[in-house]
Amino acid sequence: MSKRVLFQLISLVLISGLLTSCSNQEVSVAKIYDGDTILTSSDVKVRLLQIDTPELATKECHAEESKFQLESFLDASLQASTASEVKPKSLPKSTGLTLENDSNLDSEDKYGRKLSYLFLGDLNLNIEMVKVGAATPYFYRGEKGKYSIELEEAAEYAKRNQLGIWASCPGFVYNPLGPISTGSSSSQYVQSTDDDSNGGIGGFINNSQCSPDYRECVPSYPPDLDCGNLVSLGLIHVTGSDPHRLDRDGDGLACESNVK
């Protein structure tokens, strides 16, 4: 083997190792926003890739529980980091948490959040959140990453065993190609079984004037509504500021989960 070929092989090995180390970065968590979004201690906002959890802001069913589930998973990391403080100061603290990118998918979303899989040791927390029913797969734009099969299998497991969202949210409709919609038990709007039996628009009781921000007749804000309250309207087209925050991926189409 010539020296030139040997040099090229060594260079490839070194570059491969460098890329691997860059794509698996150890982190510590400073804040948990909800079941799928965290802030690292280096002030990087991370959105867990290829999954979605109920929205806390709109008080969706199982939103609090999903956040608590992620907190529970991260407790082990926090305990490991605290325990490492008794070790010599020359040794770096290890949280056991790492972020992994997916070369097949975007590395950042339109809000500037880093898109990653979150690992605790060898445990992929994105998959585990789905497996316990705290999240569902979300293949944005239909794009599937390296763990898509495992995510779908985890969703089937949670559904089969009626875990988390599958048991707690009767209005939930599973749609991995759209953002999750679990409905809200606290909503002031209740869907009528008869389209106009209660004098409402689109079959809603106590309906108010239609909002100008949507093509369909979505009641004006407030109160805040979510897609689970608007099932009878099907796909909703956002034409204005989206006061109900229905269009979570910003593509102008909201409540895709309402379309079967």
Does the reported pTM lie above 0.85? no
Distance CA 170, CA 178 (A): 18
Helix (H, G, I), strand (E, B) or coil at 236: strand
Per-residue pLDDT tens digits for 121-140: 999 999 999 999 999 999 99
Query: Is residue 118 domain-shared with residue 226, that is, in the same domain?
Result: no
Per-residue pLDDT tens digits for 32-61: 999 999 999 999 999 999 999 998 888 889
Domain count, the chain: 2
Helix (H, G, I), strand (E, B) or coil at 97: strand
Distance CA 22, CA 28 (A): 16
pLDDT score of 124: 97
173 within a domain of the structure (yes/no): no
Distance CA 187, CA 204 (A): 12
Average of pLDDT values for 240-253? 88
Query: Is residue 95 domain-shared with residue 220, that is, in the same domain?
Result: no
Cβ-Cβ contacts under 8 Å for 17 (sequence gap 6 or more): none
CA dihedral in degrees (98, 103, 108, 114; nearest 10)?
Answer: 0
Query: Is residue 159 domain-shared with residue 234, that is, in the same domain?
Result: no
What's the domain range around 107?
22-167
- Location of structure tokens 């201690």: 41
3 within a domain of the structure (yes/no): no
- CB count within 10 Å of CB 98 equals 17
CB 257, CB 234: distance < 8 Å? no
Query: Is residue 155 domain-shared with residue 73, that is, in the same domain?
Result: yes
Query: Is residue 133 domain-shared with residue 199, that is, in the same domain?
Result: no
Distance CA 250, CA 59 (A): 20
Per-residue pLDDT tens digits for 88-124: 444 445 578 999 999 999 999 989 999 999 999 999 9
99, amino acid identity: L
CATH code (residue 80): 2.40.50.90
Query: Is residue 58 domain-shared with residue 151, that is, in the same domain?
Result: yes
Query: Is residue 57 domain-shared with residue 159, that is, in the same domain?
Result: yes
Distance CA 41, CA 29 (A): 6
1 within a domain of the structure (yes/no): no
255 within a domain of the structure (yes/no): yes
